């Protein structure tokens, strides 16, 4: 590769990063659509082996994905609304426990000077807003209606995601073939090999990690429900979905579940059961879920994962958080090849 070609490649990479930064606010539906198309392409290819046309296979996969999403939404929203409503109804009892038991114990045990606070006004304010909003769905719609631009943005995203997903899924193989044909013939085999490794790592992350997150959310939700936590589904699924960042989902889950158990049951026995639920989840994740569903193909250090998520969010906002770990996984593949090249180079032999 000549110096001019290297500078051209560097310029194209910099231009792509600059455009990503500028277009970050509108890229979210396209990134979501690309992810869904990438996840659905293997199943579409498998259906094509049964002599289905590409369009028919894409239609079946698209309808299945839509049906699963709608069923989950129809089940999840009422459950969350019921649990949050029950929690709000129990706020006066929780406030009484804090003022009469928890705060006096903290003052005696740690020599604090925390004074009981008047929670009645806060409880009434939360209950009045919740009742006037009418629940999760109406509260979301009402908050969106206050801003016409926000509402328009949500509607555009809702319309764009399924449309873009369908067309990307239908044309995925042809798009990949056209991109391959654009490559210089001398480097095309090497790029294809590198792309194959990218695909292995990304599929392990996107598909495997998604299943791990879903499994952990289910384990935490069921476990906390057996303990008797009112907000079991909300806390469990939130902890599971945040588990892609090492220790973040577990830390948030333990803290929120322990606080909920302490307020609800007002004893320490249920705190032990909460710790047992998350302990079982962590053991299953490390010994069963991650080795079975993800494997050792990604190999990102936990510190690297945390840094990638924070850096992506700082540079590109929410779209950066979505892209942080897939890009970090791809960079890891490039660094692995660079390391092999360095070990085989004359420069390494000089040391």
Give the DSSP per-residue string, 252-273.
HHHHHHHHHHHHHH-SSHHHHH
Mean pLDDT is lowest, of 33-47, 141-155, 284-298, for 141-155
Q: Which of 83, 98, 84, 38 is nearest to 65 (CA)?
A: 38
Q: Which two structure tokens, joined as six digits, stand for 322?
A: 């979505």
Tokens representing 56 are: 């028919």
pLDDT beyond 60 at 51: yes
Per-residue pLDDT tens digits for 177-208: 888 887 777 777 877 777 877 777 777 777 77
pLDDT tens sequence across 150-159: 555 666 777 8
Pick from 305, 319, 241: which is nearest to 31 by CA?
319
pLDDT of residue 139: 52
Report DSSP state, residue 183: S
Q: Give pTM, 2 decimals.
A: 0.67
What is residue 296's predicted lDDT score, i.e. its pLDDT?
58
- Segment 219-238 shows an average pLDDT of 90
The predicted pLDDT at position 223 comes to 94
pLDDT-derived band of residue 216, with 50, 70 and 90 as boundaries? very high
Average pLDDT taken over every residue of the chain: 78
* pLDDT range class, residue 35, cuts 50, 70, 90: confident
For residue 222, pLDDT over 90 is answered with yes
Supply the pLDDT for residue 219.
94
**CA distance from start to end of the chain:** 26
Of residues 328 and 235, more confidence is placed in 235
CA distance 303 to 245: 9
Q: How many CA atoms lie within 13 A of 16 on its CB side?
A: 6
For residue 228, pLDDT beyond 70: yes
DSSP state for residue 245 in the 8-state scheme: S
How far apart are alpha carbons 236 and 330 in whole angstroms? 30
Dihedral of alpha carbons 202, 206, 212, 216, sign? positive
Q: How many other C-beta atoms can be found within 10 angstroms of the C-beta atom of residue 218?
A: 15
Sign of CA dihedral 172, 336, 326, 319: negative
Question: Looking at residue 259, what is its pLDDT?
Answer: 86
3-state secondary structure of 214: helix
Residue 56's pLDDT is 92
Tell me the percentage of the chain whose pLDDT exceeds 90. 12
Q: What pLDDT is stored for residue 59 in this prediction?
A: 92
Tell me: the pLDDT tens digits for 52-105? 898 999 999 999 988 988 888 888 778 877 777 777 777 777 777 777 777 777
Closest CA to 230 of 262, 277, 269, 267: 262
Selection from 186-190, 202-206, 243-247, 283-287 with the highest mean pLDDT = 283-287
Closest CA to 232 of 241, 242, 220, 243: 220
Q: What CA–CA distances, in Å, run from 41 to 65, 71, 102, 194, 220?
A: 12, 22, 54, 19, 30
- pLDDT at residue number 99: 73
Burial (CB < 10 A; 0-12, 13-18, 19+), residue 85, is middle
């Amino acid at each position: 590769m000549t110096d001019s070609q290297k500078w051209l490649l560097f310029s194209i990479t910099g231009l792509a990063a600059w455009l990503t930064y500028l277009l970050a606010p509108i890229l979210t539906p396209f990134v979501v659509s690309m992810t869904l198309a990438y996840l659905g392409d293997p199943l579409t290819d498998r259906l094509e082996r049964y002599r289905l046309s590409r369009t028919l296979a894409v239609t079946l996969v698209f309808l299945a994905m839509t049906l699963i999403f709608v069923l989950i939404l129809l089940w999840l929203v009422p459950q969350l609304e019921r649990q949050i409503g029950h929690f709000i109804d129990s706020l006066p009892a929780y406030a009484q426990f804090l003022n009469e038991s928890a705060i006096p114990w903290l003052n005696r045990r740690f020599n604090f000077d925390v004074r009981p606070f008047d929670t009645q006004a806060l409880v009434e304010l939360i209950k009045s807003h919740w009742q006037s909003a009418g629940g999760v769905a109406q509260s979301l719609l009402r908050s969106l209606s206050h801003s016409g631009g926000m509402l328009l943005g949500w509607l555009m995203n809702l319309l764009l995601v399924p449309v873009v997903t369908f067309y990307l899924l239908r044309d995925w193989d042809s798009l990949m073939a056209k991109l391959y044909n654009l490559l210089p013939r001398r480097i095309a085999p090497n790029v294809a090999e590198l792309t194959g490794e990218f695909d292995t790592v990304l599929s392990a992350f996107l598909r495997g990690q998604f299943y791990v997150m879903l499994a952990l959310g289910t384990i935490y939700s069921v476990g906390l429900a057996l303990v008797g936590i009112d907000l079991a589904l909300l806390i469990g699924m939130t902890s599971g979905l945040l588990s892609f960042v090492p220790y973040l989902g577990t830390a948030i889950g333990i803290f929120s579940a322990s606080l909920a158990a302490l307020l609800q049951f007002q004893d320490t026995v249920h705190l032990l059961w909460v710790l047992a639920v998350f302990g079982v989840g962590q053991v299953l994740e490390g010994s069963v879920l991650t080795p079975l569903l993800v494997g050792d193909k990604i190999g990102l250090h936990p510190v690297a994962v945390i840094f990638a998520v924070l850096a992506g969010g700082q540079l590109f906002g929410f779209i950066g958080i979505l892209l942080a770990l897939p890009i970090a996984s791809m960079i890891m593949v490039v660094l692995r090849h660079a390391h092999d090249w360095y070990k085989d180079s004359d420069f390494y032999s000089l040391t």
